[in-house]
Amino acid sequence: MRPGLEALPGRWAGGAALALGLALLVRGWRRRRPAPRREVLFFPSPATCPAALLGEPGPAPCPCPCPCPLPHGDSPLARLLRRLLSARRSLELCLFAFSSPPLGRAVQLLHRRGVRVRLVTDSGSMGLTGSQIGRLRQAGIQVRHDQESGYMHHKFAIVDKKMLITGSLNWTTQAIQSNRENVLIVEDAEYVEPFLAEFERMWEEYNPANYTFFPNKKEQK
Amino acid sequence: MRPGLEALPGRWAGGAALALGLALLVRGWRRRRPAPRREVLFFPSPATCPAALLGEPGPAPCPCPCPCPLPHGDSPLARLLRRLLSARRSLELCLFAFSSPPLGRAVQLLHRRGVRVRLVTDSGSMGLTGSQIGRLRQAGIQVRHDQESGYMHHKFAIVDKKMLITGSLNWTTQAIQSNRENVLIVEDAEYVEPFLAEFERMWEEYNPANYTFFPNKKEQK
């Protein structure tokens, strides 16, 4: 046997361990990137007190925790509110119907915090009883609507241009408390980017400069 | 220098190459698993001739290609039909409203091919003008419906228990041709499995054995 040969298996093993260590390091570094959030919420949701989530005090003299009789625990509505309230920079809303008071207060809270909120809705449903659209506009939030005979039937939100919230759920109390509905929370770019592009398309198309309220009215000469 | 030491760097490199080769092999094997399909369809869809997709001949004497004046190209509706028609074993449908004739024909075609089709729908919308529900039942497809005051408002399909088709789109001609709608095609298990579980929950809950048609009617003595 040549001198030194008896040490070879150990040296091969050393090289292999080094390379495997490097491979695992690279893999570990990749894994540190957080996995995209993938979550499903099903409704109806039990009625839930949104006060704590919305930072709203209970009535004096007991401002916290809210003493209202509604359950304060986890629920699909509470989860939806939490995802929405995670917005720090931007919120795009594209909603056929929007009349849920806690969701309306959440959107106003984000607007007050400096989040850029833009809302697209359906011209036929924005004036329905209990609609939040008027309040949101009064609060200074930009709203645009369709001018088509078909419905603007989407029901989605995009948080900070990276989290899509979409499904069958209209943002109404009836839908949240009584209907069988679904909402997907999605961070995969394959979904978020096309929805963002769809929002921007509609935002431009529904620019009020393009509205024609009285198409048959003649211009004054 | 000990004899044999001059060969050590080469042997370390050999071990490293072997280990890296193994790591790449494992990675390559993982990559061969097809990536989950992630696709978004936006509506309205241009009117599209579904005859070729549905294997329907045109009227004699020119059975193929269909000579109808509708466009025959790609469209969101054609893509939706293609995904649906890829079913080989099972199709779960959970649809608030279902009146689209081409989608109805696609579901009947799958049933004839031996795919196990189950359909859950909303009791209030199943009798609307143009509903496909009666035809599907006549064809022998199992249908169950809710018995709740709220709406069964989901609009999803699950193909072969591995592909979820879900969104804002009711399966109606109005929604397909006139509304702004979205449909997600999803194969990630984090979404498919909860939707499948939701379907099975409703399928059991809406078992006709549990229907109470005349809750105030007294039993005959």
pLDDT digits (tens, 9 = 90+) for A98-141: 999 999 999 999 999 999 999 999 999 998 999 999 999 999 99
Q: What is the DSSP string of B67-123?
A: --SS--S--HHHHHHHHHTT-SSEEEEEES-B--HHHHHHHHHHHHTT-EEEEEE-T
- In this structure, is residue A189 part of a structural domain? yes
**Which ranges of chain B does DSSP label H, i.e. alpha helix?**
8-32, 51-54, 76-84, 101-112, 133-138, 173-178, 189-205
Tell me the residue length of chain B. Answer: 221
Q: Is the pLDDT of residue A187 over 80?
A: yes
pLDDT at B9: 63
Evaluate whether residue A7 is within a structural domain.
no
SS3 B143: strand
CA gyration radius, chain A? 26
**CA-nearest residue of chain B to A122?**
B180
pLDDT score, position A19: 74
Contact B168 A40 (CB under 8 A): no
Q: Is residue B2 part of a domain?
A: no
Does residue A215 carry a pLDDT above 90?
no
Nearest by Cα to B107 from B79, B135, B130: B135
CA distance B215 to A77: 32
- Report if residue B160 sits inside a domain: yes
Domain limits for position B78: 38-54+72-210
Chain A and chain B share a number of CB contacts under 8 A equal to 152
The CA-based dihedral angle spanning residues A195, A200, A203, A206, taken in that order and rounded to the nearest 10 degrees: -90
Q: How many domains does chain A have?
A: 1
- Of A57 and A198, more confident: A198
**pLDDT score at A163:** 98
Q: Is the ipTM of this complex over 0.85?
A: no
Cβ neighbours of A20 in B, within 8 Å: 19, 23
Residue among A156, A149, A165, A205 nearest B179 (CA):
A149
Give the Cα separation of A123 and A96 in Å (integer): 9
Average pLDDT over residues A66-95: 92
Q: Is A173 exposed, middle or buried (0-12, 13-18, 19+ CB in 10 A)?
A: middle
Considering only CB atoms, A3 lies closest to which of B2, B8, B180, namely B2
**Domain for residue B131, yes or no?**
yes
Which tokens go with B119? 């359909």
Contacts of B107 (CB under 8 A, 6+ apart): B84, B91, B93, B117, B119, B132, B136, B141
Of the candidates A16, A175, A182, the beta carbon closest to that of B16 is on A16
Q: Does B171 touch chain A (CB under 8 A)?
A: no
**HEC string of A136-187?**
HHHCCCEEEECCCCCCECCEEEEECCCEEEEECCCECHHHHHHCEEEEEEEC
B217 in a structural domain: no
**Which CATH number do you get for residue B125?**
3.30.870.10
Q: Is residue A22 part of a domain?
A: no
Q: Which of A5, A22, A39, A40 to mutate to test the interface with B (most CBs of B within 10 A)?
A: A40
Does residue A67 sit within a domain?
no
Give the pTM: 0.84
Task: Name residues of chain B where pLDDT drops below 70.
Answer: 1-12, 26, 28-32, 58-65, 213-221
- Tens digits of per-residue pLDDT, A93-110? 999 999 999 999 999 999
Q: Write down the pLDDT at residue B66.
A: 77
